[in-house]
C-alpha cells in the first residue's frame, strides 16, 4: 500500500498547520480524523513525520545548519519557510511513490518493521535477529546482512557480518546491537566480541563510526534496553530523550528549546508512550500540550 504524492502533500500541509497552531485542540482533532479516514492517510502522515524527524536530526548534528534555517525563516517569514518545507516533502513523496511502485521501497526488504513495532526472526544459519521500530534488513548471504534503516539485535554462534552504509561489522559468537543514524553508525556488544571496521569492540563496549571519526563512546542510554521494551537512562538531556521516544510514535513530538537540556533519569516503558510522556511532568518542570496520537508538545511548566 503506497500513498499517492498528493496524499503526502496533504499530510505535509496538516503538519505545517499543527506546527503553527500547537495549542488548538480542534485542529489536532481534525488532523486525527483526517489520518484515520484512510490507511493511506496514516501512512502518508508517518512518512512526513519521519522526514521531519530525519531533517531535525541532521540539523542538530550539522554545525551551523539550524542557524541557517532560522535565518531563512527570518528572511522569508515563518509561514513562507514552512511552505518551502511542504514543497520539499512533496518532492520527496514523488520519489517514495516511484520507488515503491518499482519494488524498491522499505517493504521490499527481507525483514522490516513499522513505526513502534519490534519483531524477532530466526535465520537459516541458526542466528536470531530482532528489529527495532521502523527498521529494515536484507539477507545478502546466510552469514551476511545489510541494515538499510533503523536498528537490530543480532545473536549468532557463527561468524557473521552486517553491512550498514559503507561500513562492515564483523562478529563471531556474539550478541550485538547495530543502529544506523543519518550521520553515524553505532555498534554495542552485549556478549562476545565484534569489529566495527578495524576497531575491536568487547563486551559492554559501544562504538560509533562517522565520516570524521571511529571510536568507543559512552552512550546516553542503554543501547539494548529497547529489546526489553525500555529506555534506561541516567542524566540524559530531555531533548535527546524525546527524540528517542519519537522513534516509537507515528505522530510528531516537539519540545521547547528551554526544556531541551533538562536531565532525565530512570527506566521508562515504551509500550505506552502517552503514559511515558505524562510521567515526565512528575519529575521535571514541564507540561504536555496537545497530547494526541499524531501530535504532542513538551514545554516549560508555567
pLDDT digit string, tens, across residues 215-259: 999 999 999 999 999 999 999 999 999 999 999 998 888 899 999
Do 134 and 39 fall within a single domain?
no
Do 189 and 259 fall within a single domain?
no
Model pLDDT, residue 53: 62
What is each CA distance from 168 to 149, 161, 162, 201, 288, in whole angstroms? Answer: 15, 7, 6, 13, 41
For 101, the 3-state DSSP assignment is helix
| CATH code: domain of residue 142 | 2.60.120.1440
Do 210 and 245 fall within a single domain?
no
Distance CA 206, CA 195 (A): 11
Distance CA 299, CA 280 (A): 11
Distance CA 81, CA 103 (A): 33
Name the stretches of the chain with pLDDT < 70.
1-3, 22-23, 51-108
**Radius of gyration for the chain, computed over Cα atoms and rounded to the nearest angstrom:** 20
Which domain covers residue 271, as residue numbers? 225-300
How many domains does the structure of the chain reveal? Answer: 3
Do 48 and 31 fall within a single domain?
yes
Strands (E), 115-205: 119-122, 128-131, 136-141, 144-149, 151-156, 160-164, 167-180, 185-196, 199-201
CB atoms within 10 A of CB 43: 21
Distance CA 20, CA 5 (A): 23
Answer whether 34's CB lies under 8 Å from 292's CB: no
Do 244 and 154 fall within a single domain?
no
Do 146 and 206 fall within a single domain?
yes
Domain boundary pick from 174, 200, 217: 217
Model pLDDT, residue 188: 98
Do 11 and 91 fall within a single domain?
yes
Distance CA 42, CA 11 (A): 9
C-alpha cell at 48: 512526513
| CATH code: domain of residue 257 | 3.55.50.30
Long-range contacts, 91-98 (Cβ 8 Å, 24+): 92/8, 92/51, 93/3, 93/5, 93/7, 93/8, 93/9, 93/12, 93/44, 93/47, 94/5, 96/2, 96/8, 96/47, 97/2, 97/3, 97/4, 97/5, 97/8
Do 176 and 88 fall within a single domain?
no
The tens digit of pLDDT for each residue in 143-187 reads 999 999 999 999 999 999 999 999 999 998 999 999 999 899 999
Amino acid at each position: 500500500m503506497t500513498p499517492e504524492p498528493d496524499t503526502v502533500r496533504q499530510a505535509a500541509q496538516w503538519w505545517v498547520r499543527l506546527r503553527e497552531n500547537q495549542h488548538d485542540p480542534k485542529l489536532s482533532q481534525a488532523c486525527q480524523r483526517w489520518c484515520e479516514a484512510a490507511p493511506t492517510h496514516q501512512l502518508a502522515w508517518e512518512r512526513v513525520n519521519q522526514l521531519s524527524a530525519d531533517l531535525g536530526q541532521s540539523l542538530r548534528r550539522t554545525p551551523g545548519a539550524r542557524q541557517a534555517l532560522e535565518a531563512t525563516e527570518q528572511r522569508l517569514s515563518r509561514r513562507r519557510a514552512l511552505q518551502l518545507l511542504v514543497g520539499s516533502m512533496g518532492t520527496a513523496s514523488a520519489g517514495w511513490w516511484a520507488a515503491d511502485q518499482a519494488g524498491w521501497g522499505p517493504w521490499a526488504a527481507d525483514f522490516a518493521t513499522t513505526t513502534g513495532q519490534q519483531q524477532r526472526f530466526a535465520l537459516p544459519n541458526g542466528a536470531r535477529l530482532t528489529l527495532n521500530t521502523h527498521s529494515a534488513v536484507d539477507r545478502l548471504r546466510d552469514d551476511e546482512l545489510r541494515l538499510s534503516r533503523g536498528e537490530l539485535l543480532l545473536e549468532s554462534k557463527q561468524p557473521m557480518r552486517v553491512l550498514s552504509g559503507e561500513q562492515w561489522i564483523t562478529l563471531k559468537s556474539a550478541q550485538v546491537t547495530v543502529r544506523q543514524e543519518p550521520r553515524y553508525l553505532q555498534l554495542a556488544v552485549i556478549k562476545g566480541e565484534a569489529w566495527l571496521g578495524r576497531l575491536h569492540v568487547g563486551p559492554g563496549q559501544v562504538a560509533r563510526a562517522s565520516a570524521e571519526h571511529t571510536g568507543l563512546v559512552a552512550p546516553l542510554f542503554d543501547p539494548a534496553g529497547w529489546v526489553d521494551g525500555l529506555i534506561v537512562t541516567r542524566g540524559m538531556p530531555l531533548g535527546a530523550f524525546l527524540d528517542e521516544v519519537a522513534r516509537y510514535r507515528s505522530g510528531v513530538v516537539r519540545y521547547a528549546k528551554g526544556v531541551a537540556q533538562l536531565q532525565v533519569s530512570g527506566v521508562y516503558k515504551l509500550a505506552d508512550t502517552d503514559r511515558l510522556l505524562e510521567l515526565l511532568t512528575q519529575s521535571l518542570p514541564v507540561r504536555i500540550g496537545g497530547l494526541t496520537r499524531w501530535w504532542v508538545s513538551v514545554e516549560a511548566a508555567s
